[in-house]
Structure 1
Amino acid sequence: MKLADAISLYMQVIHANGCKGDSIRGVLALFVKYVGGERELSSISQTEVRAFLDGNLPLSHYWHRKHSALRGFFRFALARGLAPAIPLPARTPRCYQDYQPYVYSEDDIDRLITALDGACATLIEARTLRALVLLLYGTGLRLGEALHLCLADVDLPRQLLTVRDTKFYKTRWVPVGTHLVQILHEYIAAVHTPHSFEARDDIPLFVRRDGGRPTTSGVRRAFARLRSKAGVRRNDGARYQPRLHDMRATFAVRRLTTWYQQGADVQRLLPLLSTYLGHASIAATQVYLPMSPELLVEASSRLGHYVALEKQS
């Protein structure tokens, strides 16, 4: 079978199992471009696959992401008799470039918002970027989830957002605080006309200057310029600078730290945070536990308190 046809079948199976598989589809599309979609699966060699995996850049976690996508695809093809073997390298290199999400401080957010004053004119207006940054900071939404919000998904009187068809084809409700409700109210009043609400089902919440829905790539570029102007940088020697997606980690770490400070039962509350963030499992939420020194201090303090109580009993 030809590579492009086999990949089409594989993606159908992934979608049927309830996963969008955008990352997998992206890797496989690059692989098709690299070796050719009309190639028979049996003609693809291990040498070609290794060359695709290695690419021209230094080793990073993207190598393993590509490897994982190809491994899943070729296992699928082998199990159905579409390919005679799995042409992947026997050994996988170890990657030492672990990416540590950046946890924004309140000062970082203040500097970002201040830097929006007098921002350069682009398709993404300053007021749109401001509302988007504060929404991500205040809710921990994924960037794609925020950009896909429509006016019909924003219920300001009930302080509720409806996030539809997310990463795992699920829809969830996301409560928002009073301050964020006011920010969204002001943004909607400034950007959308009363006529927009007459056909609000498909009107995007966030819009560009030309009226279209912002793209993730466009927003990321605008945020990179804003972050540079605000002087928000990481100084831990990491390869990557703070990203918009790190607002999600920041939200989770702030929530966990607050719970620890309040003396709450964090393990009992983790499922609630997992549901709020739209994670598929609690394990995906637990990765945020060791991300902040403040959080580790609070956790250590709690542990020390329990140990002292045990010694007294």
Structure 2
Amino acid sequence: MDKMSEYFTYRSIFSSHIIGFLFEKERKGLLRGLMLKCFMLEFDRFFIEYNIINLNITKELILQWKATRINDNPRNLYHKYVAWVHFCRYLCSIGIECYIPHTPKGGRQNDYIPYVYTHEEILLIFSSADQLRIGKHRNDTPMFVLPAFLRLLYSTGIRIGEALSITNHNVNFDKKIIEIIDTKNDKNKIVAINDSLYEVLFQYQKFKETIPVKGICDANKNFFVTQRGKPCLPNNIHAWFRRLLEYNDIPKQAYFNRPRIHDIRHTAAVHALEKLVRNGEDIYCALPMISVFLGHKNIKSTEAYVKLTNEMFPDLIKKGSITSFVFPDMKYNKNN
């Protein structure tokens, strides 16, 4: 048993049902990342600590659990309630009668304000990533993927998970396209590889081919891997990116929400919209382009980027113009 499997070991009276629930989610392609597993581990420990021996989950039990979550912010609590809803519905589906809780209204919307990197900051980040060097005893680091990985995020606007799920088969250097299979909206999409991105991806591919790991370039293997040929883990990518930010002193001043690697996606959208408008594109035509670029289900999810663009480049879109109505006070949706 590997360390990850050993960590996610469920021991309460619900253990077999938790495993069955997670297996069903995985079978349907709905188990992505570790968040749901972590929530179920928390529930499992709650069942053990409070000596829960009745499989019928009641409203009183949910309230008892909620009383223990005094340090959870509204957003985390909302997501955990969603996990409860799905788990209780699963138990009902296999004949175990359970109360289906209502998700709290607070927490549905996220008040996180994305950090939009300036053009200069993006160049600094790329330059610093290019200068990273692997130490003699660091043979399982994702460091060497960063120059290509970060440029891919900025050029295509794809999410971190989507980038890490790319296989060698998904990257077509001849046609200069990448097929994204594991998207948030469960829809396959194709992103273009521009000339500058092609150069850095091709250099990365050539370096990867020199790594003496059998099958590292097989079609079904991950495109972004460590020197041992193992898939890059999100936590390691996040850690290295934070080091790049600290090295370049980004941001230069205090910021309410610390910039993240996911903000490269938001930056890509804002910079793309800026470029389109500066080149004379009407905002009505530009928004659908950005929406497709980001893979949004509808254009409403993209409208927040107009406000971000206006805040970042106040000279770009003049207030009082025909487009002034698109700058309402809106909460930002973290899941964009």
How high is the TM-score relative to the length of structure 2?
A: 0.73
SS across alignment from 1:206: coil
- The question of whether the paired residues in 2 share the 8 Å contact of 1:112 and 1:226 is answered with yes
- 1:102 alignment counterpart: 115
Matched-pair contact (CA < 8 Å) for 1:111–1:232: no
Higher normalized helix content (fraction of residues)? 1
Q: Please state how far the C-alpha of 1:145 moved relative to its aligned partner.
A: 1.4
The answer to whether 1:164 aligns with 2:181 is yes
Please give the secondary structure, in 2, of the residue aligned with 1:162: strand
Partner of 1:31: 43
The AA in structure 2 aligned to 1:106 is H
The 5-angstrom pairing of residues 48-127 of structure 1 reads 48-54=64-70, 56=71, 59-74=73-88, 82-86=96-100, 98-116=111-129, 117-119=131-133, 121=135, 122=138, 123-124=140-141, 126-127=143-144
Question: Could you tell me how far apart the structure 2 residues matched to 1:269 and 1:201 are?
Answer: 36
Deviations 1:203-261 (A, max 9, x none): 322221222111111111121122212211263531x4211111111111111222222
CA distance in 2, matches of 1:94, 1:201: 41
What is the alpha-carbon distance in structure 2 between the residues aligned to residue 243 and residue 224 of structure 1?
A: 8
CA shift at 1:149, angstroms?
Answer: 1.6
Residue 181 (structure 1) shift: 0.6
Assess if the C-alpha contact under 8 Å between 2:143 and 2:240 holds in 1. no
Query: Is the contact between residue 19 and residue 169 of structure 1 (CA under 8 Å) also seen in structure 2?
Result: no
CA distance in structure 2 between the aligned counterparts of 1:166 and 1:75, rounded to whole angstroms: 25
Equivalent of 1:180, from 166, 174, 197? 197
Match of 1:217 among 211, 232, 235: 235
**Is the Cα–Cα contact under 8 Å of residues 224 and 232 in structure 2 kept in the other structure?**
yes
Q: Partners in 1 of 2:27 and 2:92 — Cα distance? A: 19
1:228 aligns with 2:270: no
- C-alpha displacement of 1:11: 7.5
Check the 8 A contact 2:17/2:91 in 1, yes or no: no
Q: Is the 8 A contact 1:19 1:168 kept in 2?
A: no
* Paired amino acid for 2:307: P
Aligned residue number for residue 311 of structure 1: none
The residue type paired with residue 17 of structure 2 is D
One-letter identity of the residue aligned with 1:46: I
State the secondary structure of the residue aligned to 2:308.
coil
CA contact 1:3–1:40 (8 Å) conserved in 2: no
1:53·1:67 contact (CA, 8 Å) conserved in 2?
Answer: no
Unmatched runs of 5 consecutive residues or more in structure 2: 1-12, 325-336
Percent of aligned positions that are identical: 22
Alignment of 1:198-213 (within 5 A): 200-213=218-231
User: How many angstroms apart in 2 are the aligned matches of 1:265 and 1:84?
Assistant: 53
Structure 1 residues 152, 29: closer, same or farther in 2, change over 3 A? same
Measured against aligned partners, the alpha-carbon deviations of 1:256-301 in whole angstroms (never above 9, x if no partner) come to 2222223323334434433332333333323322223135543335
1:19, distance to aligned residue in structure 2 (A): 4.7
- Distance in 2 between residues matched to 1:186 and 1:3, nearest whole Å: 47
**In the alignment, what sits opposite 2:306?**
289
Aligned in 2, Cα 1:235/1:7: closer, same or farther, shift over 3 Å? farther
Q: Could you list the runs of 5+ residues in structure 1 that have no partner in the other structure?
A: 308-313
- Counterpart secondary structure, 1:258: helix
| RMSD value, Cα | 3.7
Quote how far apart the aligned CAs of 1:50 are. Answer: 0.8
Secondary structure, counterpart of 2:67 in structure 1? helix
Q: Are residues 1:267 and 2:284 paired?
A: yes
Equivalent residue number for residue 163 of structure 2: 146
* 2:191 match: secondary structure: strand
Inter-partner Cα distance in structure 1 for 2:323 and 2:295: 32
Q: Match for 1:5 among 17, 31, 53? A: 17
- For 1:40, the equivalent position in structure 2 comes to 55
Deviations 1:42-79 (A, max 9, x none): 3561333213543x35x352222223333454467679
Greater shift after overlay, 36-45 or 285-294?
36-45
Residue by residue over 1:103-140, the C-alpha shift from the partner in whole angstroms, topping out at 9 and shown as x without a partner, is: 11122122223334255634335431111111111111
SS at match of 1:264: coil
Amino acid at match of 1:68: V
In structure 2, the CA distance between the partners of 1:272 and 1:3, relative to structure 1 (3 Å rule), is farther
CA distance in 2, matches of 1:5, 1:290: 45
TM-score by length of 1: 0.78
